[in-house]
Amino acid sequence: MGHKTTYKPYGDSAILIDWHAEISISISNDILEFYKKIKDLKDTNIVEVIIGYSSLTIVFKKRITDYFKEVKSLKEVYNLKDISFKRTPFIWQIPVCYDVDFGKDLQEMSNITKLEISEIITLHSEKLYRVYFIGFLPGFCYLGGLNERLFLERKPNPRLHVAKGSVAIGGKQTGIYPAESAGGWNIIGKTPVDFFNVCLEHPCFVKAGDFIKFITVGKEEFFQIEKEVKDTSYEISKVLYNA
């Protein structure tokens, strides 16, 4: 609450709410709190609520007949004072193997950035990354917090096949490919963890507002975890985040 928001129609059956256009934890927290309040209404007229860096989009089941009435009631929801909408986020400890066999672009990145591969790995794995939201592909986390020394333009020619679990850097962002896909990000490692598995009760363990900490593992440990992930005996370590 307390942030400046603007409302606008988004087609005939959705409303877009914009915050000041910046990537900030304070704005993101405000968005997530509002998201939770709307979800808790369990309003069957609302079929989807989509989170962005500085926006929230409310999709209605049917064409909106009275736009101003809907905006008014959304504003009332935004102003609800209830501490229970705050959720303590988790820090998920994600094992990553930064071996050059997986980190296919580590050497090239080292050449461009003039950083040793070991420095790239340290700079990448020492930070805590906030999950702003999930989009692009099922389970793809938009992470914030990459050290600016690791900023690196996307590859001029995207790869047709990037392996599932690849940890990569694209411009000012870092992320994990949750499934095999085409992609132009610079690959620096790989995690054996599934970020989206439709067979599980909760297909995606991570939620917007959580944090990710990459834990470096060797190849042997990578393959051991991969095996455990496959037979569903692997449990991802997590700790509560205390801001």
Interaction of residue 153 with other proteins, rule CB under 8 A: no
Instruction: Specify the stretch interacting with other proteins by CB under 8 A; choose among 2-10, 74-82, 95-103, 210-218.
Output: 2-10
Asked if residues 161 and 180 have their Cβ atoms less than 8 Å apart, the reply is yes
3-class SS of residue 125: helix
Interaction of residue 134 with other proteins, rule CB under 8 A: yes
42: alpha, beta or left? (left if phi > 0; alpha if psi -120 to 50): left
Q: Applying CB under 8 A, which of residues 154, 155, 159, 207 lies at the interface with other proteins?
A: 207
3-class SS of residue 98: coil
Closest CB 18 distance from other proteins, rounded Å: 8
What character string, x for contact with other proteins (CB under 8 A) and - otherwise, covers 159-178? -------------------x
Instruction: Specify the stretch interacting with other proteins by CB under 8 A; choose among 52-60, 70-78, 101-109, 184-192.
Output: 52-60
- Of residues 55 through 74, those in contact with other proteins by CB under 8 A are 55, 57, 59, 63, 67
Closest CB 199 distance from other proteins, rounded Å: 9
For residue 174, list its beta bridge partners. Answer: 169
What character string, x for contact with other proteins (CB under 8 A) and - otherwise, covers 3-42? -----xxxxxxx-x-x--xxx-----------x-------
Asked if residues 74 and 15 have their Cβ atoms less than 8 Å apart, the reply is yes
Q: Applying CB under 8 A, which of residues 1, 26, 45, 48 lies at the interface with other proteins?
A: 48
Per-residue CA distances from 170 to 140, 161, 167, 174, 238 (Å): 13, 16, 10, 6, 26
Nearest to 33 by CA among 90, 85, 80: 85
The single-letter DSSP state of residue 112 is: H
- Is 106 or 166 the residue whose CB approaches other proteins more closely? 166
Q: Provide the residue type at 56 as one letter.
A: L
Q: Tell me the two tokens of residue 124.
A: 């990448």
* Residue numbers at the binding site for other proteins (CB under 8 A): 8-14, 16, 18, 21-23, 35, 47-55, 57, 59, 63, 67, 133-140, 142, 178-179, 196, 198, 203-204, 207-208
